[in-house]
């Protein structure tokens, strides 16, 4: 299991295998850099390659490993 997979599972609070904008907001709060839900939704849209409105582990990995 690679590092980004473990990070993904930490961020994915409800363990549904997708990171939602709400989970992204929680992550940024934990990191001490709170963002609005709107900003998180923008971020999700930028990472979201298949257009389902959520970040899956592959989309997350593509972001982390850039």
Residues that bind Ca ion (CB under 5 A): 12, 14, 16, 18, 48, 50, 52
C-beta of 26 vs 39, nearer to Ca ion:
26
Cβ-contact 15, 9 below 8 angstroms: yes
Nearest distance, CB of residue 52 and Ca ion, angstroms: 4
The stretches of the chain forming alpha helices (DSSP H) are 3-11, 21-30, 37-47, 57-64
Q: Cα–Cα distance between 31 and 59 in angstroms, integer? A: 20
Q: Which residues pair with 55 in a beta bridge?
A: 19
Nearest distance, CB of residue 51 and Ca ion, angstroms: 7
Nearest distance, CB of residue 62 and Ca ion, angstroms: 11
C-beta of 38 vs 49, nearer to Ca ion:
49
């Amino acid at each position: 299991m690679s590092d980004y997979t473990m990070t993904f599972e930490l961020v994915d609070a409800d363990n549904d295998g997708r990171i939602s904008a709400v989970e992204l907001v929680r992550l940024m709060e934990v990191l001490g850099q709170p963002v609005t839900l709107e900003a998180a939704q923008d971020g999700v849209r930028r990472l979201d390659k298949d257009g389902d409105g959520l970040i899956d582990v592959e989309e997350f990995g593509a972001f982390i490993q850039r």
